[in-house]
Amino acid sequence: MKQCELKSNFEAKSFFESEISNMDAEILALNLSKPALRALIRLNVYTLLDLSKISRESLKNAHGLGPTSLVKLEPFLI
């Protein structure tokens, strides 16, 4: 099994931690998992407004966003 990139790459881990701290409080209040937050960062979603511009299909196909996260995000999609 392949080792997670973040466990061996300090720069990547630091990048995502920094980006998560820049996310809007409303996104963080959803209590999404770290993989889900990283997936949103990869999609350039930092606010609910950003989220409203992303298609359901893009979210569904994003690595790191599972069924539980998608249920939490659904009310904010148009």
In a domain? residue 66: yes
> What is the sign, positive or negative, of the torsion defined by CA atoms of 4, 39, 75, 27?
positive
How many structural domains compose the chain? 1
In a domain? residue 19: no
In a domain? residue 63: yes
Q: Is the pLDDT of residue 51 over 80?
A: yes
For the ranges 8-12, 19-23, 38-42, 67-71, the lowest mean pLDDT is seen at 8-12
In a domain? residue 58: yes
As a whole number, mean pLDDT of residues 13-29 equals: 94
Q: Is the pLDDT of residue 5 over 70?
A: no
Print the domain residue range for 41: 25-76
In a domain? residue 10: no
In a domain? residue 7: no
Q: Which residue has the higher pLDDT, 12 or 1?
A: 12
CA 74 – CA 76 distance, rounded (Å): 5
Report the chain's mean pLDDT, rounded to a whole number. Answer: 90
CA 78 – CA 75 distance, rounded (Å): 8
As a whole number, mean pLDDT of residues 58-67 equals: 94
In a domain? residue 16: no
